[in-house]
Amino acid sequence: MRFLKAAPPEFLIFCFIEPLRGRLHRRLVSQPDSLMRRTAEYIRWLTHHLPRFELFADQHAALVRHIPTQQWPTGRIQHYARNFTIETLAWLVRSALIRRLPEELAAPTQPASDKRAARK
C-alpha cells in the first residue's frame, strides 16, 4: 500500500469496494457524485483535525483513515487504537455511510446508458 505513504507502524481503517474498476466500484467510488466521494468530502468538512479520511478512487482501499502509532505511549496503544476505531466509526455513522452502503449495494447496477433509455 505504497500509495498511502504510511510511516509504519500505523493504525489503518479501510473501506474496500471490489473489483477495482468494476461497475460497482465506479458507481460507489470513482464517479463524481459517488457515495464514497460524498462521504469523504462530508467528513473532511466536519473534521478539522488529523487524521482525516482520504479517498483513493483508483485503489482497492477506496476510503482510508490512518495514523502513525510510533508516538503513542507503549502502555496506551490498545487504548488509543480503540479510541481511533470508535471515533472513525462515529464519523462513518454520522456521514450516513453505514446506513446508505447496504442500500447502494442492493440497488440495481444497470449501465448509465440503460438508465437514460428507461427515462425516455
pLDDT of res. 110: 57
Can you give the pLDDT at residue 102? 93
Name 66's bridge partners. Answer: 12
Is the pLDDT at 118 greater than 80? The verdict is: no
Q: How many CB atoms lie within 10 A of CB 71?
A: 7
| Percentage of the chain lying above the pLDDT 90 cut | 68
pTM (2 decimals)? 0.79
Q: Which domain holds residue 22?
A: 2-119
Q: Tell me what the mean pLDDT of segment 90-96 comes to.
A: 94
From CA 34, how far away is CA 74, in angstroms rounded?
A: 39
Q: What is the 3-state secondary structure (H, E, C) of 49-99?
A: CCCCCEECCCCCEEEEEEEECCCCCHHHHHHHHHHHHHHHHHHHHHCCHHH
Sign of the dihedral defined by the CA atoms of residues 112, 36, 38, 30, in that order: negative
Beta-carbon contacts of residue 32 (< 8 Å; ≥ 6 apart): none
Residue 76 confidence (pLDDT)? 95
Question: What pLDDT does 113 receive?
Answer: 45
- What DSSP state is assigned to residue 12? E
Domain count, the chain: 1
**In the predicted structure, residue 114 carries a pLDDT above the cut 60:** no
What cell does 90 get?
A: 462515529
Q: Is the pLDDT of residue 26 over 90?
A: yes
pLDDT at 52: 87
Q: What is the pLDDT of residues 40-77, one digit of tens each?
A: 999 999 888 888 899 999 999 999 999 999 989 999 99
